[in-house]
Amino acid sequence: MSHLRRLFGRDKPIAASPESVAHCIETAAPNAFQALRDELDAFVERVEVYRDDGEIGILIQPDADADPFTYIVSARTLRVPNFAFPEINVAEDEARRFRAEVHVNGNRERKNVADWSEEALIRDVLTTYEEHVAWDAA
What is the total count of domains within the chain?
A: 1
Q: Which of 50, 71, 61 is nearest to 136 (CA)?
A: 61
Of 6-15, 19-28, 29-38, 59-68, the least confident: 6-15
Q: What is the pLDDT of residues 33-87, one digit of tens each?
A: 999 999 999 999 999 999 998 899 999 999 988 889 999 999 998 877 666 666 6
Global pTM value: 0.80
Mean pLDDT of the chain: 84
**Domain around 73:** 3-137
Q: Which of 57, 38, 41, 60 is nearest to 49 (CA)?
A: 57
Residue 1's pLDDT is 42
Segment 111-123 mean pLDDT: 95
**Residue 115 burial class via C-beta count within 10 angstroms: exposed 0-12, middle 13-18, buried 19 and up:** middle
